[in-house]
Every structure is written in structure tokens, then in C-alpha cells.
Amino acid sequence: MEQGTRRRGRGRRAVLGVVTAAALGVAGCDAVGGDSPAPSGTAAQQGRPSPKPTPVWDTSPDSVAAVGDSITTGFDACAVLSDCPEVSWATGGSEQVDSLAVRLLGRAEAAGRSWNYAVTGARMADLPGQMARAVGRSPELVAVMTGANDACRETTSAMTPVADFRADFREAMRTLREALPKTQVYVASVPDLKRLWSQGRSSAMGKQVWKLGICPSMLADPDALDAAATQRRETVHDRVEDYNTVLREVCAEDRRCRSDGGAVHAYRFGTGQLSRWDWFHPSIDGQARLAEIAYRTVTATKP
């Protein structure tokens, strides 16, 4: 009888020990405190907000360099057969234009943090050299507009081959990337040269200036509407479209490059947006429209 009582007493104590251990174990799962080790790995990250990734494209770059041709130098916008960089769509300081640089940086800041390396008459083959000069300023954004002079040749057979145009543009991008891997690039499409012809041919003065050698492949014999003249203009128009395809495709290969998606080419320049001296290059108002397109592209949340 006594032995049975002792066995029952030991059994009750054993059961009580198991229950107590179980209770402590449950409490340990519900809370961590004192000297208990903190969770690690995935458990440590749960409940913490993930840091937002740095966006690839900065919509407010702090400096701007421009490369390109006569459109970016403001040619014929202020006076006949003269550059006028003050009204350049890319870097000019004119209040009538509010250039891309002014819109991004403010007028006072743009004067010291924007640079224009465009050259009247430049073609795509000249872009690598211009880009190399722009690299020396370490800009946060490079604005590119070139290609019109590759189509504006003495004859259609003299136009830059599409393969060469592509190779030269890629070389310019490599020149930039080797020195400045994080600099952004805005690429404007080539304007619709055929539309510029159709608008400008209404001006007697404009046609006289065209005879001095402005875009002869498109503008020669501006009133001729025979089959040969029509085919010549169509050939130039098709080549410009090919160039724009190259600009868009090469730009798409670089994650820090944005093209305008053909916006400049699609813009319907009217007589108010064309130079009153040659009725072909952008006027001051035309330069302002180009600045609007560029600013809209650069500051868009998504390309």
C-alpha cells in the first residue's frame, strides 16, 4: 500500500513537470525577451519596409550638354544664314524659348551648367567627336538632335547609308558610356523634311535662300511636281524614317537613353514655326516647341 502511494506520488510529479515544461515552451514561442536570441535571416526581415530602388532615370538632371547640327545652334532663327545659340531649344537662355536646360535647371543655373557642342552642317559621323567634347563637362544629361544633314545632301545617292548612320551613332554612345556610364541621353527624332518643303515652298524668299544650298536633295526645284521630283523627295522621306528607326533602336539598347518616340518628326511645323529667312529651319517659336517636346520626354515618369 505504501509503495503504491509512492508510485502514484512520483507519477503526479512527472505529469506536473511535463505540463510545466510544455507551458514554458509555448510561452517561449509567443515572445522573445531578456537573453533570448533574436530571429535571423528571413524572419528578421519580415515586417520591415523594403528600401525603394533608385530609379534608373532621373527626371531632374543637374546639368545639360547638347550635341547635333544647325537646329541645335539656332541657325536662321535670329538672322539670315547665322547661328543663334541663345534661342537653341536645348541650351539657349532666351525667355522666348525656355530651352530644355532652362526648364530643368532654371534660367540662372542653366547659364553655368549647360553647354552646346552642336555645329551647323554636322552629320552623324561628327557626333562621336562632339560627344567626346561633351564628356569633358561630365553632364548629367546629353541632348542629341542630328540626322537631317545626313539626308540633306546634293543628291539622294550621297545620303548617309543607314548602316553607317547606325555605326556612327553607336560609336557616339560608346564614347559617352566609356567615360560617363550614368549620364542620361535624350534623343530627338529627325524632323519631317518633306513637310518642311511643303510649308516653305509658299515663300518666294525662302525658295531663293534654298538655292544657296539648303537641303538640295529635298528642296531643289521646289515647284517641280513631276515623277522624278516626287520620287526624289519620297526617297529622302523614306531615308529620314530609316534614320529615326535607328535612333530609336540604338537608344533602346541603353537603359539610360530616352528617344522622343518620333515626336519631333510627327510635329506639324507650320509657317509660324519656320525661319522667316529660309522657311526650313525652326523659328524662335519652332525652337520653343522643340524644347517642350524634349522637356516632356525627359521629365516623364515613364518613357
Any domain includes 289? yes
What string of DSSP letters covers 159-198?
Answer: SPPHHHHHHHHHHHHHHHHHH-TT-EEEEPPPP-HHHHHH
CB 193 within 8 A of CB 215: yes
pLDDT digits (tens, 9 = 90+) for 68-125: 999 999 999 999 999 999 999 999 999 999 999 999 999 999 999 999 999 999 999 9
Average pLDDT in the 128-155 region? 98
Any domain includes 215? yes
Q: Within 10 Å of residue 31's Cβ, how many Cβ atoms? A: 8
Distance between start and end Cα atoms, the chain: 92
Sheet harboring 257-259: ordered strands across? 114-116, 64-68, 141-145, 184-187, 257-259
Cβ-Cβ contacts under 8 Å for 293 (sequence gap 6 or more):
188, 260, 263, 264, 267
Can you give the pLDDT at residue 52?
Answer: 63
Any domain includes 23? no
- Dihedral of alpha carbons 86, 101, 67, 163, sign: negative
Q: Within 10 Å of residue 222's Cβ, how many Cβ atoms? A: 20
Any domain includes 33? no
* Cα distance between residue 163 and residue 75, in whole Å: 28
Residue 53 pLDDT level (bands cut at 50, 70, 90): low
Any domain includes 103? yes
Residue 42 has pLDDT above 50, yes or no: no
Can you give the pLDDT at residue 147?
Answer: 98
Average pLDDT in the 44-71 region? 81
* Cα distance between residue 144 and residue 186, in whole Å: 6
Residue 12 has pLDDT above 50, yes or no: no
Report how far apart, in Å, the C-alpha atoms of 256 and of each of 18, 34, 95, 129 are.
Answer: 65, 51, 29, 20
Can you give the pLDDT at residue 15?
Answer: 41
Segment among 46-60, 95-109, 169-183 with least mean pLDDT = 46-60
Query: How do strand 141-145 and strand 114-116 relate by DSSP bridges?
Result: unpaired
pLDDT digits (tens, 9 = 90+) for 157-171: 999 999 999 999 999
Average pLDDT in the 7-36 region? 40
Any domain includes 8? no
Average pLDDT in the 139-145 region? 98
Can you give the pLDDT at residue 47?
Answer: 56
Residue 7 pLDDT level (bands cut at 50, 70, 90): very low
Lookup: cell for 180: 560617363
DSSP-derived secondary structure letter, 26: H
Residue 182 has pLDDT above 70, yes or no: yes
* Of the candidates 190, 188, 236, 245, the residue with the CA atom closest to the CA atom of residue 215: 236
Any domain includes 294? yes
Any domain includes 3? no
Considering its fold, how many domains does the chain have in total? 1
The alpha carbon of 165 is separated from its chain's Cα centroid by a whole number of angstroms, namely: 19
CB 183 within 8 A of CB 140: yes
Q: What is the CATH number of the domain that holds 284?
A: 3.40.50.1110
Can you give the pLDDT at residue 241?
Answer: 98
Can you give the pLDDT at residue 165?
Answer: 98
Residue 247 has pLDDT above 70, yes or no: yes
Domain that holds residue 203: 64-299
DSSP-derived secondary structure letter, 39: P
